[in-house]
Amino acid sequence: MPEPGPPFAPPPAAAPPAAALPVAPLLLDAKSAASLCGVGRTLWLSLAASGRTPAPVRLGRRVLWNRDVLLRWCAAGCPGRSRWEAMAKRGDRT
């Protein structure tokens, strides 16, 4: 009589394909930019209108903010747009 083998085990789960992994968007709308920076959308739009956020990117009719720029802007202490742009010219953005 043959010896019984190990009990049946299902194959290990395959890793999800790279396309299925969540990817952070490069450009953010006002709601997402505000959320990233910890403020509400209305305040964000007010800050943007008064020049106290980095300049947005216009893509067709959409007004978007670069995620990487916002992260560096926050790390630099959220300076006003004119100061932020001056920092860019000098190359001392964080």
What is the value of pTM for the model shown?
0.73
State pLDDT tens for residues 26-60.
999 999 999 999 999 999 999 999 999 999 999 99
62 SS3 class: strand
Each residue of 68-94: pLDDT tens digit?
999 999 999 999 999 999 998 888 755
What is d(CA 49, CA 23) in angstroms, rounded to the nearest whole number? Answer: 29
Dist. CA 64–CA 41, nearest whole Å = 13
Q: Where do the domains of the chain lie, and which CATH numbers do they carry?
A: 26-90 (1.10.10)
Dihedral sign computed on CA atoms, order 33, 39, 45, 49: negative
pLDDT tens digits for 3-20? 666 666 666 777 666 667
Tell me how far apart the alpha carbons of residues 8 and 27 are, in angstroms, rounded to a whole number: 48
pLDDT for residue 6: 62
